Amino acid sequence: MELLHPWRLDFRQPPELRPAPVVSLVLPCFNEQEVLPETTRRLVALMARLEGDGQAAPGSAIYYVDDGSSDGTWRLIAEYAAAFPVVCGVKLSRNRGHQNALLCGLLTVPGDVLISLDADLQDDLEAIPRMLDNYRAGSEIVYAVRSSREQDSFFKRTSAEAYYRLLALLGVQVQFNHADFRLMSRCAIESLRGYEETHLFLRGLVPQLGYRTSVVEFERAPRFAGTSKYPLRKMLSLAWQGVTSFTAYPLRLITGAGALVSLGSLLLSAWALGIRLFTDQAVPGWASVVIPMYLLGGIQLLSLGVIGEYLAKVYESTKKRPRFHIEAVCGEGFDKERP
């Protein structure tokens, strides 16, 4: 299975453009009080420019989703919502993780077009007008893709690219070098609403929707302020979610491992028999006990762990617990129709 290949739009002879949409920017936030003032300043200016250029219709807004922050993030969001009509906020009752916070924003806020991005200003805001151009030319989903990873460390760059290729090899449809900076039309959002995944991996879920897609490339900037909310542990957890949520290939590997262990056991038995018959170096009982015990014990534990991971997903999915709870909202975008 190859990586997702989006439609390539030809703007030399564009079709009739769609009217300017109501644009909603969705930004999950977790302890982002250090970067939020600059993010708000830039986004408010961007929204004014988009409306002035006719790319966004009146009513477009910025929606911060506070994912249970423990600092002053929600206080700042409420202040900005009172100061700027274009700023709105959604507060979750507790920390639910980046993917659930992002899903909450996508399924809650209004708008003809929803653009998700991070609050740390690493996503290039100048890519948003180009994403809107692609939407107006016919795309329902527009992926913002990093043009390079030169700023990443060697480990992060190689591991990330290897992971995307691994997902494609396992049959998971993904857009290479794409995170969660994307545009989705209202029809794509309503289709996404029908998916009730407990363990979210939106990078793999969105391509399942189909629809016409396109790509916009951008240069990812360094974080403006604060620290990353995705340490190695969370990155590995998200990577594992991507594998186990979209493919049963690890379970099939267990079958292959069982066949290999059986073959290895036969070869080991032949070797031990040869040592016993043709040499005087055999240690009684060692080869027939120690090697198979360690080999089979390790394979069994690994296999049980993989099977247990899938069973845990089934168990948690059958409970059908809510993925998030909204504690409060603020801003004019919710005055008429609250979630």
Q: Are residues 75 and 155 in the same domain?
A: yes
Report the number of distinct structural domains present in the chain: 2
**With the CA atoms of 279, 271, 296 and 238 taken in that order, what torsion angle do they form, in degrees rounded to the nearest 10?**
120
What is the CATH classification number for the domain harbouring 213? 3.90.550.10
pTM higher than the cut 0.85: no
Query: Do residues 70 and 107 lie in contact, with contact meaning Cβ atoms separated by under 8 Å?
Result: no
Q: Are residues 110 and 254 in the same domain?
A: no
In a domain, 16, yes or no: no
Is a pLDDT exceeding 50 seen at residue 241? yes
In a domain, 1, yes or no: no
Tokens 């534990």 belong to 301
Q: Are residues 227 and 253 in the same domain?
A: no
Q: Are residues 96 and 199 in the same domain?
A: yes
Q: Are residues 301 and 229 in the same domain?
A: no
Task: Return the pLDDT at 231.
Answer: 55
Q: Model confidence at 9, in pLDDT bands (50, 70, 90)?
A: very low
Is a pLDDT exceeding 80 seen at residue 133? yes
Is a pLDDT exceeding 50 seen at residue 154? yes
Q: What are phi and psi of 285, to 5 degrees?
A: 85, -15
| Strands, E assignment, the chain | 23-29, 61-66, 87-92, 113-116, 141-146, 178-185, 213-218, 326-330
In a domain, 11, yes or no: no
Q: Are residues 264 and 226 in the same domain?
A: no
Can you tell me the distance from the alpha carbon of 87 to that of 81, in angstroms, rounded to the nearest whole number?
Answer: 5
Can you tell me the distance from the alpha carbon of 192 to that of 59, in angstroms, rounded to the nearest whole number?
Answer: 23
Q: Are residues 38 and 148 in the same domain?
A: yes
In a domain, 2, yes or no: no
Q: Are residues 111 and 95 in the same domain?
A: yes
Task: Return the pLDDT at 304.
Answer: 72
Rg of the chain taking only CA atoms, in angstroms: 25
Q: Are residues 175 and 74 in the same domain?
A: yes
Task: Return the pLDDT at 45.
Answer: 93
Task: Return the pLDDT at 338.
Answer: 46
Q: Are residues 214 and 68 in the same domain?
A: yes
pLDDT tens digits along 80-98: 999 999 999 999 988 888 8
User: Which of 31-35, 149-153, 173-177 has the weakest average pLDDT?
Assistant: 149-153
Q: What are phi and psi of 143, to 5 degrees?
A: -90, 130
Query: Do residues 1 and 171 lie in contact, with contact meaning Cβ atoms separated by under 8 Å?
Result: yes
Provide the domain limits for residue 297: 249-319
In a domain, 163, yes or no: yes
Q: Are residues 95 and 109 in the same domain?
A: yes
Q: Are residues 43 and 170 in the same domain?
A: yes
Residue, of 148 and 331, whose pLDDT is higher: 331
In a domain, 9, yes or no: no
**Average pLDDT score over residue span 215-228:** 68
Q: What percent of the chain has pLDDT over 90?
A: 20
Residue, of 280 and 38, whose pLDDT is higher: 38
